[in-house]
Amino acid sequence: MESANFSRAGRAVIELERDALEQLAQRLDDSFDHACQMLMACSGRIVVSGMGKSGHIGRKIASTLASTGSPAFFVHPGEASHGDLGMILSGDVILIISNSGETPEILTILPLIKRIDAKLIVLTGSSYSAIGQAADVCLDVSVMREACPLNLTPTASTTAALAMGDALAVALFKQRGFGATDFGHNHPGGILGRRALVYVRDIMHSQNRMPLVDCGTVLPKALLEMTSKGLGMTGVVDKEGKLVGIFTDGDLRRALNQSINLYDALIDDVMTAHPQTTSADALAAEIVVVMREASINGLFAINDAREPIGALNILDLVRAGIF
């Protein structure tokens, strides 16, 4: 019962499945291209099906396809023979997962799928099986052995099928030019959706809520502006209204360390010139990366004339569920 024994067993599983994926990548051939072309040309929906563990993998593949721009849904093969086959139309492409290629429930509905004249793509570990031979495109997802000590429990084979499904989904994703906004529209309720849909303009403080002082402002007045706007910073603008600097809580601490006379100092002497800025049309998620890389807690959005049009800080990103 030593913990090292569990770790060793777990590591062996991961290594075996890693090797299976490496072999899968090496086997990828023209059949994959044909499958992608068939899915791209689909005038209906992609219908994914599979029994048992293959069915669980199929549900995930259908979900990934649907969320990345390729309309798809899962149909249980057992339910299909009891009425759900009516969900499949001639313009659809059927994506079947069967490691053995001889799954009885799928063999039952196979003639009916052919009669509908829907295209058939099969992910199988046995290309010469009945289901593999019936396919318009057969993708080989075979593995040397399962990670199960008995070589029975679907483990490496389901990992290979899942990876192939992801490969199809991402290849289609790229070909369709599916963007962050498209992704966000399909995920409006979660963090991923917010990261893809929320822009700087949606969360920035603008107009009279934006902390700004003019060049030549004495430091105490700048501190009052910072305090009243509550962002821990203020922008500094020149006579033309262009952003030329920023003063933050960090700049204040540095000024204190330099024994600067805070009552007489001008903002020009203690501000950070040429500060990091952004566009109001930038994704808020991109700003998180900018702030982390520059080690800053806030910045201003400017227009083409370098005039400040908004300001935001880390807390704004946190409240928006982005950070």
Lowest mean pLDDT among 75-89, 139-153, 181-195, 242-256: 181-195
Q: What does pLDDT average to over the chain?
A: 88
Residues paired with 273 in a beta bridge: 245
Give the per-residue pLDDT at 87: 85
Cα–Cα distances in Å, from 141 out to 93, 175, 313? 19, 23, 48
Structural domains in the chain? 3-178 (3.40.50.10490), 200-319 (3.10.580.10)
Read off the pTM. 0.65
Lowest mean pLDDT among 14-23, 51-60, 68-77, 299-308: 68-77
**Average pLDDT in the 202-210 region?**
92
Which ranges in 68-179 belong to alpha helices (H)?
77-80, 104-116, 130-134, 156-176
Q: How far apart are CA 320 and CA 116, in angstroms?
A: 48
Is residue 184 predicted with pLDDT exceeding 60? no
Give the per-residue pLDDT at 304: 93
Is residue 1 predicted with pLDDT exceeding 80? no
Query: How many percent of the chain have pLDDT more than 70?
Result: 92
Query: Which residues are CB-contacts of 45 (< 8 A; sequence separation ≥ 6)?
Result: 71, 72, 73, 89, 92, 93
DSSP letter, residue 81 = T
Q: How far apart are CA 276 and CA 282, in angstroms?
A: 14
Query: How many percent of the chain have pLDDT more than 90?
Result: 61
Give the per-residue pLDDT at 254: 86
Is residue 146 predicted with pLDDT exceeding 80? yes
Give the per-residue pLDDT at 82: 78
Q: Are 122 and 96 in contact (CB under 8 A)?
A: yes
Cα–Cα distances in Å, from 273 out to 24, 75, 237? 54, 60, 11
**Average pLDDT in the 91-117 region?**
91
Give the per-residue pLDDT at 188: 52
The band of 193, judged by pLDDT with boundaries at 50, 70 and 90, is low
How many residues appear in the chain? Answer: 323
Helix (H) or strand (E) holding 87: none
Give the per-residue pLDDT at 97: 97
* Order of strands, sheet of 243-248, starting from the edge strand that comes earlier in the sequence: 212-214, 233-237, 243-248, 272-273
Q: How far apart are CA 88 and CA 262, in angstroms?
A: 75
Read off the pLDDT of residues 235-291 as tens digits, 9 standing for 90 and up.
Answer: 999 999 999 999 998 888 888 888 778 788 899 989 999 999 999 988 888 888 888
Give the per-residue pLDDT at 287: 86
Is residue 295 predicted with pLDDT exceeding 80? yes
**Average pLDDT in the 168-192 region?**
67
Give the per-residue pLDDT at 179: 57
Read off the pLDDT of residues 46-103 as tens digits, 9 standing for 90 and up.
Answer: 999 999 999 999 999 999 998 888 889 999 998 887 778 888 888 899 999 999 999 9
The band of 221, judged by pLDDT with boundaries at 50, 70 and 90, is very high
Q: Is pLDDT larger for residue 169 or for residue 323?
A: 169
